[in-house]
Amino acid sequence: MKIALVTDSTSVLTEKEVKENNVIVMPIPVIIGDKEYLEGVNITSEQLFETQRHGAAFPKTSQPSMGKMIELYNKLHAEGYEAIIDITLSSGISGYNSTLQNIARNNPEYHLYPYDSKMTVKLQGYLVLAAAKMIRNGFTPEEIIKKLDEISETIDELFVVDDLKNLSRGGRLSNASAFIGTMLHIKPLLTFEDGKIVAFDKIRSMKRAVNKIEIIALDRISKLDYKDKLRLFVFHSNDEKQAEELKDFWEEKLPGMPVDVAEFSPVIATHLGEKSVAIAWMIDIDKIDLTK
């Protein structure tokens, strides 16, 4: 079966990963003032924060246009693809997946399977890479979706933002009202629940907040029966020093496990703000059987 694999730019796949796995990446727009940029094409997270330091308007994000999505799916359908799997960033922080669900319902000829990663950045990216492996190994779309659900269950992420302003203004923090009154004085601890960003604790310094998520992470991982098969992650928004310290933490506490370090993509950085950091983990797709 000929299956096309699509994702959005927040998955931060490298050019090599995209090429080797035949992945089509749809750029997500970032709007600053009256100018639209495309993530992964003509704006980086560093450039995004630089515009803010020079007084640019508060950045906003959008979805790719309906026309561009339809154009892509028409092209893939015409090229003989019998199904399309499109793995998106979390529906809890974007309406993109919902738009694709509508397209799928209204255009059954595409055999479009929109998959909600309930995550973003490289956690989403590794779901895409897992799907690519399964496509090569002859899985059906339904089998791929089922296996992606199993892999998704192993994903966990904890993060800290330096300032709640971006999250609260962008409406991406589901329980923001509990924190707004003191947001200038705290560093909230955040995670994803059902694909939505939620704050679950608050600490009065960045150093203590980072230390707390490290303690929580080790406790959660210690209870996993597949802890020897994990891939570890560090994400940051223009804070390489903190990212390196978090990488050192992983390598000291869980030696021998692969650690990916990357910046949050511009779209995600727009909502989290500068100096945000995260640690995350999931089952390593190179250590599980993705053959039939």
- Condensed to tens digits (0 to 9), the pLDDT of residues 226-265 reads 999 999 999 999 899 999 999 999 999 999 999 999 999 9
Q: pLDDT category, 185, cuts 50, 70, 90?
A: low
Q: Please give the Cα distance from 91 to 71 (Å, whole number).
A: 22
Mean pLDDT across the stretch 186-214? Answer: 88
CB of 66 closer than 8 Å to CB of 93? no
Q: How confident is the model at residue 173 (pLDDT cuts 50, 70, 90)?
A: low
How far, CA to CA in Å, does 134 sit from each of 4, 85, 140, 225?
Answer: 12, 12, 8, 24
Intrachain domains 3-28+63-152 and 156-287 with the same fold? no
Q: Where are the domains of the chain?
A: 3-28+63-152, 156-287
Q: What is the mean pLDDT of the chain?
A: 91
Overall average pLDDT of the 210-225 stretch: 97
> Do residues 187 and 204 touch, judged by C-beta distance below 8 A?
yes
Whether CATH 3.40.50.10440 fits 3-28+63-152? yes
Tokens of 278: 């995260």
The topology (CATH level 3) of 156-287 is Hypothetical Protein Tm841; Chain: A;domain 3 (3.30.1180)
- Give the integer Cα–Cα distance in Å for 134 and 25: 18
* pLDDT level of residue 53 (50, 70, 90 thresholds): confident
140 pLDDT above the threshold of 50? yes
